Amino acid sequence: MRILVTGGAGYVGSHVVRALKRAEHSILVVDDLSTGSAAFAERNGVELLEGDVGDAAFLDSVFSDHTIDLVVHCAGLAVVGESVREPDRYFAVNTVGGFVLLEAMRRHAVTRIVFSSTCSVYGVPDSLPVTEETPTRPVTPYGASKLAFEQMMSGYARAYGFRALALRYFNVGGASTEGDLGDLNASGTRLIPNLLGAARRQEPFSVFGHNYPTRDGTGERDYLHVEDLARAHAQAVARLDIVDPLGFGGALNLGMGRGYTVREVLAEVENQLSETLLVREVPRRPGDPPALVADASLAGRILGFRADHDLASIVRSARVFEERERQPGGLLFERERQLQVQVASGETSLRLGEAVVKAGFVDQEGVDKALDIQRDRDGVGEPHQLLGLILLETGAISSAQLIRALRSIGRG
């Protein structure tokens, strides 16, 4: 089949593209490259069209100029905390942008779609494991924006004959077996990259909450290797014309089916690095559930899905990718170098600390903590040149947020 993959130059999307190529599909990628990388499309050997999924005219040109049989929709915003600060962006991109995509598909008679959704649609479940029958009660704009698009797909399936399937995956991690695809974005939300970053910088890692009702008091999550997730998307494509998504609610859970606590993941990282990480226990984050574990048995029965990778494989592949791409010329090396240039060149009246607080990316307390680290390192209170890198290193802001803040400074 000729498949359009939105967000196919991103972390999850690039792995989905590779899994679909292995299944001998012909792939076209659409991505605005806000968090993705053209290098991933190049490494996958697929055509990339740079553009916004929310741009109806752009999509019309894509569907008019290419024969498309099916869409795999991976594009969207996916940082939970950011969605709380910027709900307008999340509903605009994830929900309204999704509507624009569905309408473009309808105009061009493309009626098959697989959607890369999230377990965040469930919010804080009353019991575990989480099944597809668990009530959907999202507690963040991120989860709500994804659920709204799921409901939109269901409506189009009933009214216009779409075949639509949502895949609700739990905590994704890891990188490609080849070591050439992985997570480029320091969003501050994924545990394993944050642990590896803390080890690299020789700085304390913050454990949020140590008195949860779990095995060791820390939060427990179901981790899924990104290659297992990508393969599930390929299985969904293969089965979409065989199964009736409306017959089972139109959504499937994807996870390993067992949980690991923060301390257990920390121990695996320490084991593979052969070093002990510095740890700082801090209070729980509001709204964080004690545990989230998937029941993926329905996906097993319908798609033949199973998780082949374990936690050790997830950590190992993430570590190999990061080590490779932090070498000179690597994607992480080049991204950090470019950010350093942007940070150092911002000679403006508005300091970065003021810009990130004004944008709602971090509160003043977070900026003050970064300034303390800056003074400890250099003994002086420099302006935003170093502060931006510290905020990025500590996970206080993402690389995308840093770029947006720097641009706002440039307009000041």
Catalytic residues: 142
**What CA–CA distances, in Å, run from 257 to 245, 284, 380, 403?**
22, 24, 50, 37
- Secondary structure in 3-state letters for 179-248: CCCCCCCCCCCCHHHHHHHHHHHCCCEEEECCCCCCCCCCCEECEEEHHHHHHHHHHHHHHCCCCCHHHH
Edge-to-edge order in the sheet of strand 291-292: 260-261, 220-221, 291-292
Identity at 300, one-letter amino acid code = G
Distance CA 101, CA 113 (A): 10
Tokens representing 44? 């996958």
Residue in 305, 296, 160 with CA at minimum distance from that of residue 239:
305
Distance CA 209, CA 291 (A): 12
* H or E segment and range at residue 252: strand 251-254
Distance CA 185, CA 402 (A): 11
Local structure of residue 286 (DSSP, 8 states):
T
Helices (H) and strands (E) in the chain, counts: 17, 14
**What CA–CA distances, in Å, run from 330 to 73, 108, 326, 343, 412?**
27, 39, 6, 20, 33
